[in-house]
Each structure stands twice: as C-alpha cells, then as structure tokens.
Amino acid sequence: MLVSALKTLPFMLAASVAAGQPTNNRMVHHPGMLKYPITAFPGVPVRAINRRQMGNSLTNQLKGTFYSIDIEVGTPGQLVSVLFDTGSSELWVNPNCTKASNPSLCQQLGHFDSAKSSTFNDTGIKHVIGYGSGYVNMTYAYEAVKIGSAKLRNQLFGVAFDSKPENYGIFGAGPDLRGWDDPYPTVINTLAQQGFTSSRAYSLDLQSIESQRGSVIFGGIDTGKFSGHLEKRPVIPAEQSPDGATRFRIYLDGITVSTENGTEVTAFDKVDGQPVLLDSGATLSSLPGPIVNELLKGFPSAQARGPLYQVDCPVPGSNGTVNFKFGNAIIKVPLADFILQVDESSCALGVQQNDEMPVLGDTFLRAAYVVYDWDNRNIHLANSADCGSHLVAIGKGPDAVPLLTGDCRETAPTSTFIATSTSSVGYTNSTRLSSRSNTATPVPSNLTSAVTSTTLYTITSCFSNLQ
Ligand SMILES: *[C@@H]1O[C@H](CO)[C@@H](O)[C@H](O)[C@H]1NC(C)=O
Ligand SMILES: *[C@@H]1O[C@H](CO)[C@@H](O)[C@H](O)[C@H]1NC(C)=O
Ligand SMILES: *[C@@H]1O[C@H](CO)[C@@H](O)[C@H](O)[C@H]1NC(C)=O
Ligand SMILES: *[C@@H]1O[C@H](CO)[C@@H](O)[C@H](O)[C@H]1NC(C)=O
Ligand SMILES: *[C@@H]1O[C@H](CO)[C@@H](O)[C@H](O)[C@H]1NC(C)=O
Ligand SMILES: *[C@@H]1O[C@H](CO)[C@@H](O)[C@H](O)[C@H]1NC(C)=O
Ligand SMILES: *[C@@H]1O[C@H](CO)[C@@H](O)[C@H](O)[C@H]1NC(C)=O
C-alpha cells in the first residue's frame, strides 16, 4: 500500500544490527531460498488509497482479498498474520482492533504480547506512519522474527499502540523510501545479512482469485509458476520518479482489453508511457484519467460509482483479458482477476482513477509472476501459471536473477470466475468459495481456517448506497 511516511529513526539504531553473521539456520533442501505460502483472505474491506476517498461508502464497503504471511514474533514464537506489502518497507504488528474496519478479522490475525517474549528489546522510540487512509503509532523494538525456518535475530519492527482503521499488521517488503541502501534494517535486508538469502531479492506469486497456492520465495524463483520468459525491467530511479521516492516502480508500455467477442480495445500504447508502482498492499489498481477513460471502452457496461466503476460480471468461462505490456512481455489478466465481485449481481472494475500515484495492485498482480531484485534495482515479470514446482536460487551480483523461461505452457487465459457455478452470476454464497479455497490450501493453519470461515464474502450491496 502507499505510505506517506515520516521517518525519523536515528541511524544509530540501524547500525547496531547491521553486522549479522551468516547462520546455519537455512532450509535444508534449498540453500539461500525460503519458499513460504501466501494466504489469501477474501471478503476484507478494501483500503481507500486516497485521503479524499475516505468515508466514501462504496470504497468502504467493497470487499477485496488481502494477501498475508504468517510470522512468529518473539521467543517462544507468537503467530501473527501480516499483510505482505511490496508498497511499504517496515514490519509492524498489533493494530488497534477497536478502531479496525473489521474488528473480528483484526482479532483473529494474532496479537503479539511482548511480556511473554524473552528476546523483546524495546527501544522506546516512537514513530507514526501515515498511510493514505489512516495512521499507525508504534514503538520500535528489536525482536526475534521467524519466517518459516528462518529465525531472524534482532529484527527491528514496530509494536503499534494505536492505529486506524487497520485490520492487520504489515510486512513491508519494499525499499525504504529514502533509498535502496538506507540503513534501516528491513526484513528483506536482514534475510540477506543473516545469510538466509544470497542477495536482497524475492519472487511474489499471488496466483488467481480462487487459488490458495500463492507464495513468496525469498532468494529464489519457481519456474513451475509462470509461462514465457521473465522480462527484466529497470526500476525507475527515485530522482526520475513522480514523488522522488525509492519504490518498486517501473514503466508500463501499453494496455489493451481483449473483449469476449474478439474486439481489441487499446487504452494506451507508448514505450515508457506510464510509471506504475507494483503494490501488493493495494487491492485495486489506479491509473490516470485519460488511460482509465480509454480502458472503459472495453467495458461498455461500465458506470461510474464514486471512485469506482460498476461493470457486468464476467460470464462463466469468459476468455476476455486486460493486457499489460512491459517491454517484450504482455501480462494477460483474466477478467475474473481484474473484476471484483460486489454482490450476487454486481461487479466492480479493478481499477480506479488516480493521476498522482498510479499503482498496479492485486487486480494486476494476481496474473503476474514478479521477481523483485533490490540489489540490482530490477523487476522481472512473466505471466503467472501453475504447473509444478522447480526452485532456482537467486545468487549475487548483476546477473543474480538468471535468464529464465517458465516451465508452464502458454495457454489462452480463461476466467475461472464462476466456472464451477451453475448460477449465472458470481459466487452465490460463501460456502462454495470457502470449500474451493480450502481444498487447494497447502497450509490451512488453524488461524487461517478460523478467519476464512467467518469473513468470507460478507456480501453487501454497496452500489445502491451511492445512488
Ligand atoms: C537491545 O538493543 C540495543 C540496541 O541495539 C543493544 O545495545 C542491547 O544490547 C540490546 N539488549 C539486549 C538484551 O539484547
Ligand atoms: C496516533 O497518531 C495519530 C495521527 O498522528 C494521532 O491523531 C493520535 O492522537 C495518535 N495516538 C496516540 C495514542 O498517540
Ligand atoms: C484502541 O482505541 C480505543 C478507542 O480509541 C482506545 O480506547 C484504546 O485504548 C486503544 N487501545 C490500544 C491498545 O491502543
Ligand atoms: C473469445 O472467444 C470468442 C468465441 O470463440 C472469440 O471470437 C474471441 O476472439 C475470443 N477472444 C479472445 C480474447 O480470445
Ligand atoms: C464487442 O465488444 C465491444 C466492447 O466490449 C463492443 O463495443 C462491441 O460492440 C462488441 N461487438 C459485438 C459484435 O458484440
Ligand atoms: C451454498 O453453496 C453450497 C455449495 O454450492 C450449497 O451446498 C449450499 O446449499 C448453499 N447455501 C445456501 C444458503 O445457498
Ligand atoms: C486447532 O485449534 C483447536 C483449539 O483451538 C485445537 O484443539 C486443534 O488441535 C487445532 N488443530 C490443529 C490442526 O492445530
């Protein structure tokens, strides 16, 4: 998600943990790599991106999916599920659930109790992060943080003592806004410094809307999860960026819509035409007005509803796609991943207008396999697929991310939106989605099942509220 951060942490804090030693605590079969499942939580309130959209009833009521990772904080470890966010850089836990937009979800994601940890090391330094739609006040501490088999020592993180309207803590996996080599010891830095990965790089594979097989691979790539070649794109340097900040932002060269009836609509087509931030913490994508207006021509049913667009739900088996061009790669997003279900008969386009801070969020990322290479300031991307698993380690140096082609065959994407449904519109109730999700879940932890069973598709009819 977008962060307008005011960062005040003194450098001395960072310096004290900068010299981590290599450790033997690695995954045995895959040295330098950690593959870890991402849990998709559908039915969660969508975070507003702009301050001016706060209080908008549609944005507040539209439900989306958020992507979390389970971590263990402290000694002994306490399980906490946090949003995996390529759009921010810090780890923090313990949102104030009283002020959360979904208090019951918030409570079920786990709470870290520092009094029960023998390794908690409080710094007493307080800090406020202002997100587009809220704030988090926290105190910095050093603590043991376990991600799968990797037990990070002395990870700097924030323990929130107040927040609004956050439902979950956040694992910021993006660079510090101040620079790639800023001394703030982010988790991605610590993974490399303490020897769990060879360099600061990871792959994120959210998988399609109905899948629970998404994963993040710290220090590695899974060629069984994409088709075609991984296209390498340079990250736009901070000094050339619209906001002067270091972020995972690359140029998008074009967008087209392939409609179900075979028509191709071009929303824009220009090399290096549009900088976009790749932000897994953003449910929706955001694009400038002129591009959105052209894109809408591919969706004749679209009607503006506040900042969003109501569109017809994709028909079962729809072969329509929204196509994003990056250099020599075209990422084809099936309509089911690009369009959000609102209720049984209404859907919303997964894009809103934002002229200042264009973002490709989950409505794009579900269809992409993306490698985030901090050390070389590159993004590599390909079409997401799922045809087995073959892990390749990311090494060090300029060619750390090898030239790779996915093991999966390129097939015409087809929306599985409601492919298993006998109804003509969308998910008719939460039971089906829940059972579909759970059968495919590699790691259905107790926490996960508890949350999904109570929060899946709390269906609200929100479009009507705006009319
Ligand atoms: C807590 O962190 C500070 C700053 O890094 C360090 O000087 C101190 O030794 C740590 N205390 C413990 C008990 O680890
Ligand atoms: C947390 O920060 C917000 C925004 O700066 C502020 O309004 C609020 O009073 C702070 N809360 C506490 C408990 O300090
Ligand atoms: C959470 O917010 C409520 C309402 O403002 C406040 O009373 C409570 O003290 C806060 N709790 C924590 C742990 O910050
Ligand atoms: C979808 O299928 C229809 C009917 O077979 C075909 O006319 C159309 O070209 C296809 N569209 C795409 C984007 O493949
Ligand atoms: C095909 O779809 C486009 C855009 O959705 C629409 O403008 C056009 O009229 C449609 N053509 C047919 C033959 O349905
Ligand atoms: C929900 O869907 C499931 C599976 O399709 C079905 O068995 C169940 O009867 C449905 N429940 C309701 C309340 O419609
Ligand atoms: C899930 O939690 C319940 C109690 O909350 C416990 O009895 C059960 O053993 C747990 N199941 C697993 C698979 O951990």
Domains of the chain: 28-201+424-457 (2.40.70.10), 204-393 (2.40.70.10)
- State pLDDT tens for residues 349-359: 999 999 999 99
String of b and e for 398-435 (b: at least 16 CB within 10 Å)?
eebbeebebbbeeeebbbbbbeeeeeebbbbebebbbe
User: In this predicted structure, what is the pLDDT of residue 168?
Assistant: 92
- Residue 450's SS3 state is helix
Ligand 6 centroid – CA 452 distance (Å): 16
Catalytic (active-site) positions:
85, 279
Q: Which residues contact 379 (CB under 8 A, 6 or more apart)?
A: 232, 233, 234, 235, 248, 250, 278, 370, 371, 372, 373
The residue to which tokens 């769990």 are assigned: 196
Handedness of CA 331, 371, 65, 466 (dihedral sign): negative
User: In this predicted structure, what is the pLDDT of residue 55?
Assistant: 40
- In the numeric block, which tokens belong to residue 454? 């109570």
Spatial distance between the Cα atoms of 465 and 394, rounded to a whole number of angstroms: 49
Question: Whose C-alpha lies nearest to ligand 6, atom 12?
Answer: 429
User: In this predicted structure, what is the pLDDT of residue 462?
Assistant: 26
SS (H, E, C) 134-155: EEEEEEEEEEEEEECCEEEEEE
User: In this predicted structure, what is the pLDDT of residue 456?
Assistant: 18
- Residue 99 CB less than 6 A away from ligand 3: yes
DSSP E strand boundaries for 235-328: 249-258, 264-278, 285-287, 303-305, 308-311, 321-326
Ligand 6 centroid – CA 212 distance (Å): 21
Question: Whose C-alpha lies nearest to ligand 6, atom 11?
Answer: 429
Asked if 186 contacts 5 with a C-beta cutoff of 8 angstroms, the reply is: no
SS (H, E, C) 230-249: EEEEECCCHHHCCCCCCCCE
Ligand 6 cavity residues, CB under 6 Å:
429, 431-432
Spatial distance between the Cα atoms of 211 and 207, rounded to a whole number of angstroms: 6
Question: Nearest 5 degrees, angle CA 357-CA 69-CA 224?
Answer: 90
Ligand 1 centroid – CA 121 distance (Å): 6
pLDDT per residue, tens digit, the chain (467 aa), is 654 433 333 333 333 332 222 222 223 347 789 998 898 887 776 664 443 443 444 455 577 788 999 999 999 999 999 999 999 999 999 999 999 988 999 999 999 999 999 999 999 999 998 866 688 999 999 999 999 889 999 999 999 999 998 899 999 999 998 899 888 999 999 999 999 999 999 999 998 877 778 999 999 999 999 999 999 999 999 999 988 999 999 999 999 999 988 999 999 999 999 999 999 998 899 999 999 999 999 999 999 988 889 999 988 888 999 999 999 999 999 998 999 888 777 889 999 999 999 999 999 999 999 999 999 999 999 999 999 999 999 999 999 999 999 999 987 665 554 322 222 222 222 222 222 222 222 222 222 222 222 111 112 222 222 22
- Residue 260 CB less than 6 A away from ligand 4: yes
Ligand 5 centroid – CA 424 distance (Å): 20
User: In this predicted structure, what is the pLDDT of residue 411?
Assistant: 74
Q: Which ligand is nearest to the CA of 166?
A: 3
User: In this predicted structure, what is the pLDDT of residue 246?
Assistant: 94
- State pLDDT tens for residues 42-78: 777 666 444 344 344 445 557 778 899 999 999 999 9
SS (H, E, C) 318-379: CCCEEEEEECCEEEEEEHHHHEEECCCCCEEECEEECCCCCEECHHHHCCEEEEEECCCCEE
Q: Would you give the end-to-end CA distance of the chain in angstroms?
A: 28
Ligand 5 cavity residues, CB under 6 Å:
259, 261, 263, 298, 300
- Residue 98 CB less than 6 A away from ligand 3: yes
Nearest to 298 by CA among 351, 358, 342, 363: 351
Helix axes 430-440, 446-455, angle to 10 degrees: 160
